[in-house]
Amino acid sequence: MGCLDGLRCWSMAWVIFGHTIVYTMPAGGIQFYLELMPKGFAEATHVSSASGDLSVPPEGGRISSVAYQLVPAAFFAVDTFFWMGGLLTAGSLIKQMRKLGAGWFKMYPIYAIGRWVRLTPLVIVAILWAIGISDSIGDGPFWSSQQDSASCSQSWWVDIVYLQNILMLSNPDQPSCLGHFWYLANDMQFFLVAPFLVYPYVVSKSLGWATLSLATLGSTAANIGIALSGHYSASPLFDSKYFAHIYVQPYTRAQPYLVGIALAFAWDQWGKRLTATSSATSALIPASEDQTSVVAEKKGGAHAVWHPYLVWGLCLGASAAMLANMFGTYGLYQNYPTDWTDAQNVTYISLSRLGWAIALNVIAFLCFAKQLPLVNAVLSFGPFEIFGKLTYAAYIIHPLILTPMAYGSSDQVKFSDAWFASSFTTYVVWASGIAFVLWLLVEKPSANLLASGLGRLGLGGSAA
């Protein structure tokens, strides 16, 4: 599964790519918004070119262009991490539950506490940074606009119990301490539910698939129902209520995690058979071909080579689904408010993340089965294994780098393509460097202690 290292690294870079703009918008001022947002934003917000020195782009801001669809598409990078979490957690649980059977659930409290111990040390570091350090490294006329220190002083406990997303609905007045931790809240909640989805599969494969299918249908139905009732726009950039009611809630955001679990089931059930060199080979290639010419020798031994039309068809289908998700929002961002109908918004909201995860399943399965040697080689490139270990710390810390850079400026940030490129690369370098230090001093020692404790209890190999 070496391809997962590359997916981790590219996804983390994509998250920072999107956050470079999102975290700067409040500090950028009206002109920053005008340079980014579509046609109609100035009129809708009662801003005109007569207001001071503001300039309204006549054709709309950059997000109306094809290339800039990569910015809102960065939301899918988070879904990639959810998908990966489902895959790795389910793969680990299948092994443990086959060993321990129903007795595994006696270990459930340890399973839950172990996850808390795995995630929380870096969360605490980030909270302490926000409360005790951030105000010491930032100042300027816009610094008071950011509220990290004040919010975390009041709501630090919300983050360490992983309820930030739930409280957005139940208590909207609760200050949000480091808003990007909504992801960790979802991840923890998915992790706690995962055993109840995996155990039916261990008992009976048919039961497991049925349970998982019902959960996926339920999550999709929740997206459809909530999106229809709220008439939401399919972008957090346009609709803050969409962010709180759909984007961060576990029942609507679970689709990629569930699809990742499905890949763990599929690989467990069919992986070995579809990669064997005996019966599988004859079933996957034309009978007329010389079998010795289509069996490749790798370090892991010989493996079956599937019919090239099948591989190309699956690969192109997955790529088309991903490209449709990434650039299908072009029409959404042509005007503000959007010209999309309720049907278009609901369709994209309810199916885009599901389609993205299914496409990831196809690409990953082909890589696992050694049917995409070039793609697998690129994603499994050695340095990705190193940097892949830093992605969790990079996710935790990167907003704490973006904030002082954006709000500590002596003047409003001026948006330009050059600013975007230079800022993004700077943030990637800084996030990687600080993440390396945190990995050495906090994350790795904590993980070692956790692994040692779980190993003594027969729960070794718990998913990260």
The 3-state DSSP class for residue 297 equals strand
pLDDT at residue 107 greater than cutoff 80: yes
Tokens representing 322?
């991903």
Q: Which amino acid does the sequence have at 242?
A: Y
pTM of the model: 0.90
pLDDT of residue 51: 57
pLDDT of residue 459: 61
In the chain, % of residues over pLDDT 90: 61
pLDDT of residue 292: 37
The 3-state DSSP class for residue 56 equals coil
pLDDT at residue 204 greater than cutoff 70: yes
pLDDT of residue 135: 76
Paired strand residues for 301: 298
pLDDT of residue 460: 57
Tokens representing 234?
């399919």
The conformation of residue 441, written as its DSSP 8-state character, comes to I
Instruction: Provide the residue ranges of all domains of the chain, joining segments of one domain with +.
Output: 3-456
pLDDT at residue 432 greater than cutoff 90: yes
Rounded to whole angstroms, the Cα distance separating 47 from 40 reads: 10
Q: Which amino acid does the sequence have at 429?
A: V
pLDDT at residue 256 greater than cutoff 70: yes
pLDDT at residue 464 greater than cutoff 60: no
pLDDT at residue 280 greater than cutoff 50: no
More confident residue, 144 or 228: 228
pLDDT at residue 219 greater than cutoff 70: yes
Per-residue pLDDT tens digits for 395-409: 999 999 998 888 887
